[in-house]
């Protein structure tokens, strides 16, 4: 059974459809590659499914029992949804450690910082930062990290939510090879743990290597979906995207 289903989901900007009546399914325990040319609606779709933007029409179904006609970002976590952004979003003036503790405590900023000494939260923070190789940077301010380290910290923050569905919007962009290997390992570990991953990525080698299934968007519409090798070999996909 799909963990997320969209039915006729649409979003317009100034009368132009960024997402046009999309009916899709995202399956649990899989990595779904979400691809398409620039402006095809990939990030807009993620913004809709995580409550960053309201949709104009259609519904989103989560699991078997929850059907939504609207979604706010501040309740997305209640439905087991989390995400990263193309442009990294961190608490810039807080330390790496405190950025993680804020997510672990699920409270406001000051209560979370007050609890940072608790052994349970510190152990969890160490585990999360260890997964992305940033534990040694735990006392550094977030704004002092390199670009790649900032992306890894945002991924660690997403992991700290212990969500069921993870939306990763170009997590590999700008990463050195060793950092990219770390991210790929994390995505595989999430899949192995039964989590659902929706991955926006332009590198087709990574899509082939990581994805169980691929969805291709073009001008806000569904162009193709299925197994990576079959989808990426289709003429209309090559024409619309790979042949740019």
Beta bridge partners of 108: none
What pLDDT score was predicted for residue 242? Answer: 53
In whole angstroms, give the CA distance from residue 27 to residue 198: 10
**pLDDT tens for residues 2-57?**
999 999 999 999 989 999 999 999 999 999 999 999 889 999 999 999 999 999 99
What pLDDT score was predicted for residue 112? Answer: 52
**pLDDT tens for residues 180-228?**
999 999 999 999 999 999 999 999 999 999 999 999 999 999 999 999 9
> CATH code for 1-80+203-244?
3.40.50.300
Distances (CA, A) of 64 to 85, 131, 170, 193, 195: 28, 32, 29, 20, 16
Q: pLDDT class for 119, splitting at 50, 70, 90? A: confident
The phi, psi pair for 227, rounded to 5°, reads -65, 140
**pLDDT tens for residues 90-111?**
999 999 999 998 888 765 555 5
What average pLDDT does the chain have?
92
What pLDDT score was predicted for residue 114? Answer: 57
What pLDDT score was predicted for residue 241? Answer: 67
**pLDDT tens for residues 130-178?**
999 999 999 999 999 999 999 999 999 999 999 999 999 999 998 999 9
Rounded to 5 degrees, what angle do the CA atoms 209, 212, 216 make?
Answer: 90
The domain spans of the chain are 1-80+203-244
């Amino acid at each position: 059974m799909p963990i997320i289903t969209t039915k006729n989901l649409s979003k317009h900007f100034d009368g132009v459809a960024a997402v046009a009546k999309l009916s899709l399914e995202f399956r649990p325990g899989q990595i779904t590659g979400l691809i398409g040319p620039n402006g095809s609606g990939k990030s807009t779709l993620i913004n809709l499914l995580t409550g960053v933007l309201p949709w104009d029409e259609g519904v989103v179904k989560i699991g078997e029992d929850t059907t939504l006609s609207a979604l706010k970002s501040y309740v997305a976590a209640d439905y087991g949804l989390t995400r990263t952004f193309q442009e990294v979003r961190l608490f810039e003036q807080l330390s790496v450690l405190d950025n993680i503790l804020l997510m672990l405590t699920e409270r406001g900023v000051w209560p979370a910082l007050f609890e940072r000494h608790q052994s349970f939260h510190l152990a969890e923070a160490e585990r999360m930062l260890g997964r992305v190789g940033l534990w040694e940077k735990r006392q550094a301010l977030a704004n002092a990290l390199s670009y790649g380290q900032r992306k890894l910290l945002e991924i660690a923050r997403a992991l700290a939510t212990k969500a069921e569905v993870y939306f990763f919007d170009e997590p590999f962009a700008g990463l050195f090879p060793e950092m990219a290997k770390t991210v790929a390992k994390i995505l595989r570990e999430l899949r192995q743990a039964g989590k659902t991953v929706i991955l926006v990525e332009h590198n087709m080698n990574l899509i082939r290597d990581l994805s169980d299934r691929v969805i291709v968007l073009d001008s806000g519409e569904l162009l193709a979906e299925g197994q990576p090798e079959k989808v990426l070999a289709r003429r209309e996909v090559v024409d619309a995207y790979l042949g740019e």
